[in-house]
Amino acid sequence: MPNRDVPLAAVLMLLLWQLEPALSQAAPSRDTKKVVISSQTESGLERITYATDNGAVIATLPAEIAPDDNIWGTITLAPAGKTEQDRQVNFNALKKLLVELKPEHGSAIVMAPGCQPKVLHIPKDCAEIQASLYDPDDKSMHTYRLNCLLNKPKSDLGSGQAKMPQVVTPKRFFRCGANTDGSPGTGACSIDGENCPAIAGSPRDQFFAAPNDLPAGPVPMKFYLPDTNQVAESQVSVMKPKISADKLLKVGDRGQIKISVDGMKPGTSANLIFRNLSPEVISVGGGDYQVIPLSK
């Protein structure tokens, strides 16, 4: 089991929001002029975050987009608020917002929270896609521009053989390489008998979220392509990081934390990624974004 001592005051892990059905019909207010857009690419996925005064709308899409592709993605909501009531009010405001994807020289689709994903076809002469947060109340739009990979060779579309990951982490996404038409439902995956929700796809890759309750260590994995009736089976290592501190840190203190990872099998390598989400409060030795290579 690999261990790594990291000199830092604290590590703030990025967690997935567990959204619950609305409990009330509150009428929240929203200032649509206050929208900050940011984007982050990681392991083949691009997450576009539209931060509003009610919280964030996050659109998750494949990072590699080429002309003539069919792609799809999903939306998650991260409502702001310190209490459950505040978060519920903000959730009611966020769930009204939409994300419109409009490719150059092509037809647009609309992504809505909680709805079945729609396929976006990228025209052959498309160089840019506009990903816009749309408010149906005041018709406002806030646009982020995605670039198409115009020079991506056709040979990169894949051989049709599924490529399985070696390592997964509960609550995180992973990719299975496969040559498909890029539509939702063209690939299904399970780990240790648990279904993996699909979150995005393209002709080259299908992206899934690992189930929350997975045992640490090697477990069986299946990837099914219904179009070709192909089933790929493999063994994947479920890694679970653990964090402990040498003391309770107070304002102005320095200290160390120990990060250990359970579940890696011999011969496996992976990267441990952590971010400091509050750099104005916490100073992290080595930088606010670090990638720690792990091997066993």
User: How far, in whole angstroms, is CA 14 from its chain's centroid?
Assistant: 11
Mean pLDDT value of segment 137-153? 86
- Mean pLDDT score of the chain: 81
pLDDT at residue 88, as a whole number = 95
Per-residue pLDDT tens over the stretch 175-212: 988 878 888 888 899 999 999 999 999 988 899 999 98
pLDDT at residue 251, as a whole number = 75
**d(Cα 212, Cα 192) in Å, to the nearest integer?**
12
Quickly state the pLDDT bin for 154 (edges 50, 70, 90). low
**d(Cα 36, Cα 49) in Å, to the nearest integer?**
8
% of the chain with per-residue pLDDT over 90: 43
Task: Please determine, for residue 136, whether its predicted confidence score (pLDDT) is greater than 50.
Answer: yes
Strand-pair category, 173-177 with 167-168: unpaired
Task: Please determine, for residue 153, whether its predicted confidence score (pLDDT) is greater than 60.
Answer: no
Q: What does the longest C-alpha to C-alpha distance in the chain come to?
A: 60
Task: Please determine, for residue 94, whether its predicted confidence score (pLDDT) is greater than 80.
Answer: yes
Domain extent listing, the chain: 36-147
Per-residue pLDDT tens over the stretch 30-78: 455 689 999 999 889 999 999 999 999 999 999 999 999 999 999 999 9
pLDDT at residue 246, as a whole number = 73
0.85 exceeded by pTM: no
φ/ψ of 157, rounded to 5, equals: -70, -15
Per-residue pLDDT tens over the stretch 4-15: 443 433 333 332
What is the fold of 36-147?
Answer: Immunoglobulin-like (2.60.40)
Task: Please determine, for residue 2, whether its predicted confidence score (pLDDT) is greater than 70.
Answer: no
Task: Please determine, for residue 157, whether its predicted confidence score (pLDDT) is greater than 60.
Answer: no
